[in-house]
Structure 1
Amino acid sequence: MRSSLHRLRPVWVGDPVPGPGATPGAGGPAPVQLALDEIGTPLSEVTFVVVDLETTGGTPAECGITEIGAVKVRGGEVLGEFQTLVDPGGPVPPFIQVLTGITSSMLVGAPPVEEVLPSFLEFARGSVLVAHNAPFDVGFLRAAAARTGHPWPGYRVVDTVRLARRVVTRDEAPNHKLGTLAALFGARVTPNHRALEDARATVDVLHALLGRLGPLGVTHLEDLATATDPVPQEVRRKRTLADGLPDAPGVYLFRGPNEEVLYVGTSTTSLRTRVRSYFTSSEKRGRIQEMVRIAERVDPVVCATPLEARVRELRLIAEHSPRYNRRSRFPERMPWVRLTSEPYPRLSVVREVRDEPGAAYIGPFGSQSSAQLALEALHESFPVRQCTRRLPLVATPGASACALADMGRCGAPCVGGQDATGYAAVTDRVRSAMLGDPAPVVGAHAERIDALVAQQRYEEAATVRDRLGAFLRGAARAQRVGPVARCAEVVAARRSDDGGWEIVLVRHGRLAATARVDRATDPRPTIATLRATAEHVPVPVPPAAAAHPEEADLVLDWLERPGVRIVDVVGVWALPVRTALGDVEPAAAIAAHAAAVAGHDVASAEVALRPSADGTTPVDLARAVADAPGVMPRTA
């Protein structure tokens, strides 16, 4: 197994989040000494090679190099210098001779770039290249490497012009030319358009610029890569919050005053890299920039696997409801559509799944409006009652039927128009569509959309389409999660990139434990340990899982990924052949047919086939669900 504490033992998703100053035996993990690559490379330990070129012109494809000068420095100390004239393969233009003082006669006998370049590449090996107007100098060097057949090492490059634009104002200097900056900072060498002298001057300019960037939070090489981003100083200074974060997958919590959890995020690769991105120009969300300004600390939670990191994020968001997170904060608000278990069942939107013999559920839905659309789709497809009161087995004398009975959309059991047996036949069809084959719902909506499009009633056709999409999404989710929610335990494993194994233990759809073993370790003892010590999970009421709905989706996505091996299943994990998961092709056919009929009116076609409120079209839905791995397709 891995050597760090968080990966030496199995990592339980239910473990508490360690607070600041956690010590061994105090409920938190033992402290782990971080390696240098986990905390970044201080600028004082970076080896820079400051380079300057003189050329015969400004275009690498047409001009040649006449002189290379470079200075290698680290921690303010000069480690070496490199200087040579170069035969450009042609005469030096007169104005270049005047500018640099390098004449054609001076280059007679000078080595060509084919001989010089290998020596320079060796001199700069393993260093960070620095140049004033770096695209010019690096562009010539790359072109020379390509022309002579030498592979370009892919150096990190720092441009002192861009750094100067970040910290030197127009009040201090009229421009950012090398000579102007050298005079401003009191460089020991005056630039004179000769390569080595200009490189020496650039060294002094570089050190002065780094001195100004330090108070802005640019203290490590990783910071320097984004030092020229247009980031407010109060945000850039917060970069130190990422110092010391591990280079491992996990969850991070931004904390503000009074230990308030402001934001919870996740990284499946490197916590340090992900958190640092919040202090660069790549972060453009206004509310997150506001959050960073008031954050005081970042707490990391290292996870054994990327799946655990995503699950921990969901659970911590649900636990703390951070004000700057917008998703997954209130899983208890996700509604379901229920077919009740009373003598004359009806459909309703509810907040939880209860243990009611004979009841049927689909969902959960992302919003109340989506659940209402799904309910309307069922009402549109079956003549089931829509009144909300509980009906007795025998109709009450004097009761009156509603308008739906006159329209033929309800059998009117409230007035004795339909007995319990006849009504049960209707509700059995509803239950079958919810829990199994949705073909009756799809067929009814296909006919309705066909009729509306033929009448050019595109807005109404779009509403019918949205109802069908909402129903299929809710039914597919319940039919997919329900089987794994009924399984007492599922153990699965997947090869990791390093040849080891990611091991996952799921109980009733909830991630109960996860661990990671290396390629040299037999995973079976770890699996036995997980099964013996994993989180106890109470039995839920299917199709609801014993977890956040999004957690169940994450777990299933992982279990259905190519390469995942099912080690053991306690229970039955199976799907009927005919379900909403595999029978969505008609939805795509509906959308295609509507587009074909409406093709004479482009604007109307766009209305009829516009995405629903969540951005999904019937075609998107059909493709997404039909392509879901591990799903048995519908047979004829």
Structure 2
Amino acid sequence: MSEVGSTVAAMTTDRIADWAAGRTAPGVQGTLDDLGTPLADVTFVVVDLETTGGSPAESAITEIGAVKVRGGEHLGEFGTLVDPGAPIPPFITVLTGITQQMVTAAPRIESVLPAFLEFARGCVLVAHNAPFDMGFLRAACASHGYAWPSFPVVDTADLARRVLTRDEVPNCRLGTLARFFRAGTEPCHRALADAKATVDVLHGLIERIGSFGVQSLEEMRAFAKTPTPDQQRKRHLADGMPSAPGVYLFEDAHGEVLYVGKSGDLRTRVRSYFTASETRRRVREMVGLAESVRPIVCATGLEAEVRELRLIAEHKPRYNRRSKFPERALWLKLTLSEAFPRLSIVRECRDDEAVYLGPFGSTRVAEEARAALHEAVPLRQCTQRLTPRLIEQGRARGCVLGEIGRCGAPCEGREPPDAYARHADTARSIMEGDVRPVLAAAQVRIDRLAVELRYEEAAAQRDRLAAFVRAAARAQRLAALAGCPQLVAARPGFGGGWDLAVVRHGRLAGTGTIPRGAHPWPYVDAVVATSETVFPAPGPAGSATAEEMECVLRWLDGPGARLVEVDGTWSCPVHGAEGLRARIDRAYAPVDHERDTRRPGRPLR
């Protein structure tokens, strides 16, 4: 008998012996259990959380809702508010309707967790965008000494991206899917209601995946992570990608750029688009349209990051969400070319001797920063182009701000040009350097409103101050770099040696590398000699976009960075906004008070 035959005979003898001893059945045919757990027999606990923010490290749970179902039958519910141990941000209250008063008498998370874990014991957890909910639950267990059970987890968002097309639903948000599957409960950002809506979505998705032959829990969990047919069919597009830093461009059959990305290893990154790890719906759709991937190898990671921004701005690919329209950035402009300067919001920095602050991502934030500056300096707020001749002729229009003392009313001749010029000089010094007057004016108003218990108005003043400080800090950092005709810097490379960067007027003009152990100056001279010629431009961003300069500044702030050569002065103002930005960020950070065990829910003073 062959070796294989002997092994089979021995296995058969062992099975007969086990059956004779009552340890197993004599048959060799597999059972249905061998194929997995039928979905009709699986007990699902569909869970949803409401929290004070988006990060488990900085936020806390405010509500837990869960529904237990099996075979379409409703078995039970679990729902409770949770005291987060910190103030609930106003925007969270607006979104969820959960106020601080509602959670004051609620149990703490360490009291809720044991009950929830017992409710879900032995079940499969289901959530919409499961990494978010599971991340908070795991973090809560770790913080309070509870072991996290090895729950199987199903993400309805992943399933929906796999089985639903763009023609059926525009996106895979819970509200959209609930309407599509005609859920009996409408999601409203309350935990139990959203969990009930997710139950109906789950049942609708189970019906859908049944047409794909998915009948068991194991098949369903694997199905959500299976690459699409387009991903499998187009894996060859990743062939020939170099293992080097650079930029990659997905292009369709007509050569149109669909998507631009960057990576420290082009080969590994591009391959990931054709595997099950890529679950983003828009990206999977893009892969279905792509016919080629064009790599652009870069000398350093910084060059790849900057090239990505420039290519996105140039091609505006339909599947890139960020950085497509740098020309839409907003700036706060002090119009010094006018006889009576004012603050206006513009989209372009011109060479007109004006002072600019920004950029801002939205009109609302720009208006908040302008309001903070108006609190400190009584500049006119009208939009008319005011000239001495217009005032002499009496054709200038007055406004209510002059009547209540918020403006010197130069339009009515009550404030002469020399006196008004002092206000413009103060505004200019604030925007370019010393921001203390804005801080002082805002602090006076915030303190007065707080004493009068007008907390919402005080918070609005704080938001205005934060918008101004953040914009001023950014503008001052950008202006300092843009003011240097040339800056040469180096950072340690990943494989030894050094990465070089030449920055001229804020724009990355050239990059290169110095091999390990080589004399640096010949390489530095070569990179400088072959770098792009850059001319100065108006505005804080100089000759580059603000995003490109932020990339350069992050690289310069990185570990091991060395300045090789600086032509000009690279510094921030002594009393500038950079020193206040940390204070502003702390004001918006979640509060983590030490708790007084004698008075639960009250922080120690």
| Residue number in structure 1 paired with 2:255 | 259
| Residue number in structure 2 paired with 1:558 | 555
On the 8 A contact 1:486/1:542 being kept in 2, the answer is no
**Aligned counterpart in structure 2 of residue 371 of structure 1, from 356, 366, 376:** 366
> For the structure 1 residues 574 and 589, does the alpha-carbon distance in structure 2 shift closer, same or farther, using more than 3 Å as the test?
closer
| Residue number in structure 2 paired with 1:522 | 519
| Residue number in structure 1 paired with 2:28 | none
After superposition, residues 178-197 of structure 1 pair within 5 angstroms as: none
After superposition, residues 529-568 of structure 1 pair within 5 angstroms as: 529-568=526-565
On the 8 A contact 2:355/2:539 being kept in 1, the answer is no
Give secondary structure in 1 for the equivalent of 2:579. Answer: coil
In the alignment, structure 1 residue 501 sits paired with structure 2 residue 512: no
**What is the Cα deviation at residue 438 of structure 1?**
1.5
In the alignment, structure 1 residue 452 sits paired with structure 2 residue 449: yes
**What is the Cα deviation at residue 275 of structure 1?**
1.3
Which amino acid is 2:344 matched to?
Answer: S
Worse-superposed segment, 432-441 or 394-403: 394-403
Which amino acid is 1:579 matched to?
Answer: G
| Residue number in structure 2 paired with 1:491 | 488
**What is the Cα deviation at residue 393 of structure 1?**
3.2
Which amino acid is 1:442 matched to?
Answer: L
Hey, what's the Cα distance between the residues in 2 that align with 1:416 and 1:283?
A: 66
> For the structure 1 residues 449 and 97, does the alpha-carbon distance in structure 2 shift closer, same or farther, using more than 3 Å as the test?
farther
Which amino acid is 1:274 matched to?
Answer: R
The gaps in structure 1 that reach 5 residues or longer are 1-68, 71-81, 86-91, 101-225, 597-604, 606-636
> For the structure 1 residues 451 and 245, does the alpha-carbon distance in structure 2 shift closer, same or farther, using more than 3 Å as the test?
same
On the 8 A contact 2:351/2:537 being kept in 1, the answer is no
> What TM-score comes out, normalization by structure 2 length?
0.59
**What is the Cα deviation at residue 380 of structure 1?**
2.6
Which amino acid is 2:274 matched to?
Answer: F
| Residue number in structure 2 paired with 1:312 | 307
On the 8 A contact 1:252/1:300 being kept in 2, the answer is yes
Cα-to-partner distance string for 1:517-564 (whole Å, 9 max, x where unaligned): 220322211111111121111221242221121001101111122311
> For the structure 1 residues 530 and 593, does the alpha-carbon distance in structure 2 shift closer, same or farther, using more than 3 Å as the test?
closer
> For the structure 1 residues 93 and 363, does the alpha-carbon distance in structure 2 shift closer, same or farther, using more than 3 Å as the test?
farther
Give secondary structure in 1 for the equivalent of 2:296. Answer: strand
| Residue number in structure 1 paired with 2:280 | 285
After superposition, residues 71-150 of structure 1 pair within 5 angstroms as: 95=18
After superposition, residues 326-475 of structure 1 pair within 5 angstroms as: 326-341=321-336, 342-357=338-353, 359-393=354-388, 395-398=391-394, 399=396, 401-475=398-472
**What is the Cα deviation at residue 458 of structure 1?**
4.0
Select the structure of larger CA radius of gyration. Answer: 1
Cα-to-partner distance string for 1:318-350 (whole Å, 9 max, x where unaligned): 110101111111111111101111221100011
In the alignment, structure 1 residue 233 sits paired with structure 2 residue 156: no
Hey, what's the Cα distance between the residues in 1 that align with 2:296 and 2:427?
A: 46
Which amino acid is 1:247 matched to?
Answer: S
Hey, what's the Cα distance between the residues in 2 that align with 1:471 and 1:228?
A: 45
On the 8 A contact 1:439/1:583 being kept in 2, the answer is no
Which amino acid is 1:587 matched to?
Answer: I
Hey, what's the Cα distance between the residues in 2 that align with 1:283 and 1:337?
A: 40
> For the structure 1 residues 495 and 587, does the alpha-carbon distance in structure 2 shift closer, same or farther, using more than 3 Å as the test?
closer
**Aligned counterpart in structure 2 of residue 584 of structure 1, from 572, 578, 581:** 581
**What is the Cα deviation at residue 295 of structure 1?**
0.7
On the 8 A contact 2:473/2:581 being kept in 1, the answer is no
**What is the Cα deviation at residue 291 of structure 1?**
0.7
**Aligned counterpart in structure 2 of residue 573 of structure 1, from 553, 570, 575:** 570
Give secondary structure in 1 for the equivalent of 2:578. Answer: coil
On the 8 A contact 1:334/1:368 being kept in 2, the answer is no
Hey, what's the Cα distance between the residues in 2 that align with 1:230 and 1:296?
A: 21
> For the structure 1 residues 459 and 252, does the alpha-carbon distance in structure 2 shift closer, same or farther, using more than 3 Å as the test?
same
Hey, what's the Cα distance between the residues in 2 that align with 1:304 and 1:496?
A: 11
> What TM-score comes out, normalization by structure 1 length?
0.56
**What is the Cα deviation at residue 279 of structure 1?**
2.1
> For the structure 1 residues 406 and 244, does the alpha-carbon distance in structure 2 shift closer, same or farther, using more than 3 Å as the test?
same
Worse-superposed segment, 377-386 or 228-237: 228-237
**What is the Cα deviation at residue 370 of structure 1?**
2.1
Hey, what's the Cα distance between the residues in 2 that align with 1:504 and 1:331?
A: 23
On the 8 A contact 1:510/1:546 being kept in 2, the answer is yes
On the 8 A contact 2:470/2:581 being kept in 1, the answer is no
Hey, what's the Cα distance between the residues in 2 that align with 1:329 and 1:511?
A: 19
On the 8 A contact 1:245/1:271 being kept in 2, the answer is yes
Q: Percent identity?
A: 51
On the 8 A contact 1:505/1:531 being kept in 2, the answer is yes
Give secondary structure in 1 for the equivalent of 2:273. Answer: helix
Hey, what's the Cα distance between the residues in 1 that align with 2:285 and 2:445?
A: 49
Give secondary structure in 2 for the equivalent of 1:432. Answer: helix
> For the structure 1 residues 274 and 591, does the alpha-carbon distance in structure 2 shift closer, same or farther, using more than 3 Å as the test?
closer
In the alignment, structure 1 residue 249 sits paired with structure 2 residue 249: no
Give secondary structure in 1 for the equivalent of 2:464. Answer: helix
CA RMSD, aligned part only? 3.2
Give secondary structure in 2 for the equivalent of 1:258. Answer: coil
Hey, what's the Cα distance between the residues in 2 that align with 1:252 and 1:420?
A: 56
Hey, what's the Cα distance between the residues in 1 that align with 2:236 and 2:464?
A: 50
Cα-to-partner distance string for 1:353-411 (whole Å, 9 max, x where unaligned): 22223x21111112233222211221233211011122223632434521001111100
Hey, what's the Cα distance between the residues in 2 that align with 1:458 and 1:565?
A: 47
Cα-to-partner distance string for 1:493-515 (whole Å, 9 max, x where unaligned): 11213221101111111111101
Hey, what's the Cα distance between the residues in 2 that align with 1:243 and 1:428?
A: 61
Cα-to-partner distance string for 1:108-132 (whole Å, 9 max, x where unaligned): xxxxxxxxxxxxxxxxxxxxxxxxx
> For the structure 1 residues 595 and 368, does the alpha-carbon distance in structure 2 shift closer, same or farther, using more than 3 Å as the test?
farther
**What is the Cα deviation at residue 227 of structure 1?**
11
Give secondary structure in 2 for the equivalent of 1:521. Answer: coil
Hey, what's the Cα distance between the residues in 1 that align with 2:302 and 2:472?
A: 25
Give secondary structure in 1 for the equivalent of 2:429. Answer: helix
**What is the Cα deviation at residue 592 of structure 1?**
8.7
Hey, what's the Cα distance between the residues in 1 that align with 2:228 and 2:501?
A: 43
Cα-to-partner distance string for 1:191-243 (whole Å, 9 max, x where unaligned): xxxxxxxxxxxxxxxxxxxxxxxxxxxxxxxxxxx999422222222222111
Hey, what's the Cα distance between the residues in 2 that align with 1:525 and 1:93?
A: 80
Hey, what's the Cα distance between the residues in 2 that align with 1:96 and 1:583?
A: 78
| Residue number in structure 1 paired with 2:130 | none
| Residue number in structure 1 paired with 2:294 | 299
Hey, what's the Cα distance between the residues in 2 that align with 1:489 and 1:454?
A: 51
> For the structure 1 residues 590 and 285, does the alpha-carbon distance in structure 2 shift closer, same or farther, using more than 3 Å as the test?
closer
On the 8 A contact 1:338/1:360 being kept in 2, the answer is yes
Worse-superposed segment, 226-235 or 514-523: 226-235
**What is the Cα deviation at residue 595 of structure 1?**
11
